[in-house]
Homo-oligomer: A and B are copies of this chain.
Amino acid sequence: MSSLDHVFHALSDPTRRALLARLVEGEATVAELLQPFEISQPSISRHLKVLEDAGLISTRISGNARPRRIEPAAFEAISDWLEQYRMIWSENYARLDDVLETMKTKEPKT
């Protein structure tokens, strides 16, 4: 059973996607993640468990709190999966090499 099952299932819920969107700004505790929502703390904890089981986030122990953070690898897995379909919508399908070339020469960091 592919882990993509869990990844895509986790992403199918808007609350969970919102949690990820918050976590992309940095680590956050359950209390912090809970705040913008109207749902209960146990529900948030369960959503976080689904995200963690999917490998999308991880938990760190910090005294009383359990801050969560994004796990990059899972997103990379999605990107890899999506790659096999990129040719389908890319306008540059016929010139895929050009696309790759463009990616190589993208702006260098300062």
Per assembly, the copies of the chain total 2
Q: Is A91 interfacial (CB 8 A cutoff)?
A: yes
Q: Is A97 interfacial (CB 8 A cutoff)?
A: yes
Beyond A11-B8, A13-B5, whether A109 also contacts B88 by CB under 8 A is no
Residue numbers in B under 8 Å from A91 (CB-CB) = 109
The CA-CA distance from A73 to B96 in the complex, in Å, is: 13
Q: State the interface size on chain A (CB cutoff 8 A).
A: 42
Q: Is A75 interfacial (CB 8 A cutoff)?
A: yes
Chain B: minimal CB distance from A16 (Å): 9
Chain B: minimal CB distance from A6 (Å): 8
Which positions in A face B, CB cutoff 8 Å? 1-2, 4-6, 8-9, 11-14, 17, 20-21, 24, 26-27, 69-70, 72-73, 75-76, 78-79, 82, 84-86, 88-89, 91-97, 103, 108-110
